[in-house]
Structure 1
């Protein structure tokens, strides 16, 4: 039987990566050139070749985005496999 909906018990989490792994490969901080306010800062961590975690402030809330990326025409673009969570949901 197929299960669709919210999972509360941790089923379906990626088990191919251990929690004891080395620190993230890449961390960068992107900020708006026009506005030097901290509300526009974005922190991006690359957790594998095609997966990234980003933390950003959007509409007055802090969001954590975990997403897979793909390469098209030499650019890395976000795929539809991923999730955005507010701090309440994390």
Structure 2
């Protein structure tokens, strides 16, 4: 896939937090933009990358995203992917095969 066409389930969040140019639902204002959603941060996989579970437009997504810092606050960047629960389950079911391809037989 060239990267231009996205399947409906593969939403990408723009740097302003919108998805594919559409603003996310309004939420109560908070002082730190990194906390103004119902995201559950599962883990930080590097300094500026994190995995979170979020509820967006009534659906649950596993979001793997790069963040950037602006004025001391973290904001979601464009680079990342949001997987539907079905897509997440497919990926999870193939972890052993991925580990074998990586040379890890554990």
Relative to the length of structure 2, the TM-score reads 0.44
Shift of 1:53: 0.7
Q: State the Cα RMSD in Å.
A: 2.8
Shift of 1:64: 0.5
**Structure 1: which 5+ runs fail to align?**
7-39
- SS of 1:4 mapped into structure 2: coil
The one of the two structures with greater contact order (alpha-carbon pairs below 8 A, sep at least 6) is 2
Q: Per residue, is there more strand in 1 or in 2?
A: 1
**Structure 2: which 5+ runs fail to align?**
6-36, 89-106
Determine the structure 2 residue equivalent to 1:65.
63
Shift of 1:42: 3.1
CA distance in 1, matches of 2:54, 2:60: 6
Pairs aligned (count) = 57
